[in-house]
Amino acid sequence: MKPWLKWLLRIQLLLLGLGAGAVLAGLIAYCISDRANGSLVSSGVKHHYLLYVPESYDPSKPATLVISIHGFSQWPAHQSALTGWNDLADEYGFIVVHPSGTGFPKRWYTRGPAGSETDPALDVAFISDLIDKLESEYNIDPARIYVNGLSNGGGMSVLLGCELSERIAAIGSVAGAYTSPWSECRSARPVPAIVFHGTADPIVPYLGGPSHDPGFDLPSIPEWVAGLADHNGCAAALVELSTSGEVSGVRYEGCGQDAEVVFYTIASGGHSWPGGGYLPEFLVGHTTRDIDATRTMWEFFQKHPLEGE
């Protein structure tokens, strides 16, 4: 990460930690979000995104598309720096896009009244239109379109899995903020999912509790993941994964259409991307180095193309 970007990130997160500075923090994010290099109009609104096409991309071969979504009050370049998806793209030749949220500060609307400015359908339509645009410009493999995100972006990734299951092959979420019960998920097919969450997350509590949105509670993450497995028709029995330092995991198998669910718990982990870029510990908690969430997601995604494409 470039030094000036790191210092702006530090200032922003400090202001967010002070609560009353959230608006100013959003202004900083807004000012540097112009690093986005693409735009499109969806539902009458101009949206932006940051696209990365590696030199290893071969237009004669269908390429995987990875969509990685930033969190609340963040921006595409920040998500790129945190996750390192571009480095893997160089290695494997796939395309990465980091879409930008809307509002001030920037966010993704995963809940809100139908027909309003906060209607989640608007953000879903934007991502669908973005996929259409990239498919018209590049040789995208329709069987290998994946989405992942952090925090509010993790919640958006889950919503996309519900609303665009005919296009999204699999999803990944880190420290996700989940705002809707599984009974509201309208997926046409079960979508494979990989989830990461820290037990000491100060923003999205591992065991659930009140959110910053008055009157709304976030779910217990283990219970939410169990609901996801049930939604995907998985068997009740869990397979314990090998423990690595601070990281333990379980796999739900026997799922409908092989839509397995993998859940990694980071002991004492904070609101951060495991193995990822800089975030100040005094604000978001501990970032583990015992697992690389990006590479682990990629390995999971490769096993789960969209069947029938």
Per residue in 115-145, pLDDT (tens digit) is 999 999 999 999 999 999 999 999 999 999 9
Q: In what order do the strands lie in the sheet with 45-52?
A: 38-42, 45-52, 95-99, 63-69, 140-150, 170-174, 193-198, 261-266, 247-252, 238-244
- Select from 3.90.650.10, 3.40.50.1820, 3.40.50.11540, 3.60.20.10 the CATH code of 3-302: 3.40.50.1820
- Tell me how far CA of residue 264 lies from CA of 160, 243, 271, in angstroms: 21, 10, 14
Residues 6+ apart with CB under 8 A from 189: 165, 166, 256, 257, 259
Series of mean pLDDT values for 10-residue runs along the chain (309 residues): 42 41 43 70 97 96 98 95 97 97 94 93 98 98 98 98 98 96 94 98 94 76 97 91 95 96 98 92 95 98 90
Considering Cα of 199, then 204, then 207, then 212, what sign does the dihedral take?
A: positive
pTM of the predicted model, to two decimals? 0.89
Termini Cα distance of the chain: 37
Both tokens of 104, joined, read: 């001030």
Task: Give residue limits of the domains in the chain.
Answer: 3-302
Instruction: Supply the pLDDT for residue 289.
Output: 97
Instruction: Supply the pLDDT for residue 307.
Output: 86
Q: How confident is the model over 216-240, as pLDDT tens digits? A: 789 999 999 999 999 999 987 799 9
The bridge status of strand 170-174 relative to strand 209-210 is unpaired
